[in-house]
């Protein structure tokens, strides 16, 4: 797109109000801890090995390559459910296809950055996105805020949920995956690698969703039904249009966080909307015809994503030295940094 119509996440509205001060994360890797939750148990037999690994300051893709080298198998035989932050301490699962090979000494693979926690046989390859979610433990240092106001904000988020924005890491450093979208979608597109093409397509699709969510937050109805909405059931990918129930019942169910309004994951097919909801999305996305047409032509199907994420198990504690400890679970595809921006302005050590 020759002229930028899209907004960065910093330019999009915060649902809970202005940040309540500021604080620092990732001063050390242990300040940002993530534990992957698969949501299923290993079979105990099969041609794949499921490895549960704890890593520190380590890139997921690099680690997958090192596991392949240690096991003596091609890199393409190693898979994982999702990428995990490098500047953090994280646990995650890898699957290695080893139908006849004898497993190596996994403990011999360990070093100061990597620890193998468990190894189990499994029948199926671990595919991207095949996880229930992630459990986070974050330490925020140098906290400069009024604890009473922050405590109230946290209680509000636990009771009402947070916007389901895609985080900035979805778009590449400096939003470069959006800046390079013409290389995939314009009539004068360039030949790019398969990996970069996938990243650009994912970024564009995520940005269109964020634009709609930002519009609904600005209107004050991101967590409320409007005529023509398509709703997603809490904890499920199933949904329905608003013509199944009366308006008052839909309002109650949204207040109870039993259902959530949704936004578009753009692709082929008619949007599952009508009335005001359809008109709102059409108006919001009208500057992005090139992106929408491009997503349809690469073969993606129209899907929906909830505009809200529930936070029923959000816990926090204020600790000595102006520190805040946060503990919470997020479903797959949701971002801890989006929760943080609802609280305070985040600073990183290099800043």
23, HSE (Cβ side, Cα atoms, 13 Å): 29
What letters, b where the CB count within 10 A reaches 16 and e where it falls short, cover 88-119? bbbbbbbbbbbeeeeebebeebeeeeebbeeb
- DSSP 3-state of 207: helix
CA angle 214, 216, 221 (to 5 degrees): 145
Helices (H), 221-330: 247-255, 275-285, 289-297
107, HSE (Cβ side, Cα atoms, 13 Å): 0
Of 31, 43, 85, 313, catalytic: 85
Q: How far, in Å, CA of 202 to CA of 178, rounded?
A: 10
Q: Is 221 a known active-site residue?
A: no
DSSP letter (8 states) at residue 235 = T
CB 75 within 8 A of CB 63: no
Q: How far, in Å, CA of 239 to CA of 304, rounded?
A: 9
Report how far apart, in Å, the C-alpha atoms of 67 and of each of 52, 84, 105, 110, 137 are.
12, 16, 12, 10, 26
Longest Cα–Cα distance of the chain, Å, equals: 62
Distance of CA 32 to the CA centre of its chain: 16
Q: How far, in Å, CA of 327 to CA of 274, rounded?
A: 39
CA dihedral 258, 263, 267, 272 (to 10 degrees): 60
67, HSE (Cβ side, Cα atoms, 13 Å): 31
Catalytic machinery residues = 85
């Amino acid at each position: 797109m020759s002229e930028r119509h899209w907004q960065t996440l910093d330019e999009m509205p915060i649902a809970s109000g202005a940040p309540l001060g500021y604080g620092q994360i990732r001063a050390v890797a242990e300040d940002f801890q993530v534990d992957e939750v698969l949501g299923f148990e290993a079979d105990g037999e099969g041609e794949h090995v499921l490895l549960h690994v704890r890593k520190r300051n380590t890139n997921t893709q690099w680690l997958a390559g090192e596991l392949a080298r240690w096991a003596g198998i091609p890199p393409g035989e190693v898979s994982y459910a999702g990428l995990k932050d490098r500047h953090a301490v994280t646990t995650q699962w890898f699957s290695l296809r080893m139908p006849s090979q004898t497993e190596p000494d996994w403990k011999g693979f360990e070093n100061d950055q990597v620890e193998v926690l468990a190894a189990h046989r499994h029948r199926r390859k671990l595919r991207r996105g095949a996880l229930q979610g992630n459990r986070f433990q974050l330490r925020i240092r140098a906290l400069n805020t009024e604890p009473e106001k922050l405590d109230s904000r946290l209680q509000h988020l636990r009771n009402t949920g947070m916007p389901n924005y895609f985080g900035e890491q979805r778009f590449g450093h400096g939003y470069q995956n959006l800046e390079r979208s013409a290389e995939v979608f314009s009539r004068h597109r360039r030949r790019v690698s398969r990996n970069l093409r996938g990243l650009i397509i994912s970024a564009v699709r995520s940005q269109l969703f964020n634009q709609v969510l930002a519009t609904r937050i600005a209107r004050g109805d991101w967590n409320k039904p409007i005529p023509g909405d398509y709703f997603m059931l809490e904890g499920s990918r199933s949904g329905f249009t608003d013509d199944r129930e009366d308006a008052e019942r839909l309002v109650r169910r949204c207040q109870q966080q039993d259902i959530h309004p949704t936004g578009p994951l753009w692709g082929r097919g008619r949007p599952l909307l009508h009335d005001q909801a359809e008109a709102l999305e059409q108006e919001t996305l009208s500057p992005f015809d090139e992106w929408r047409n491009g997503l349809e032509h690469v073969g993606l199907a129209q899907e929906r994503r909830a505009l809200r994420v529930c936070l029923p198990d959000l816990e926090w504690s204020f600790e000595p030295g102006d520190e805040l400890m946060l503990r919470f679970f997020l479903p797959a595809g949701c971002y801890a940094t989006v929760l943080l921006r609802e609280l305070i302005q985040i600073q990183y050590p290099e800043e």
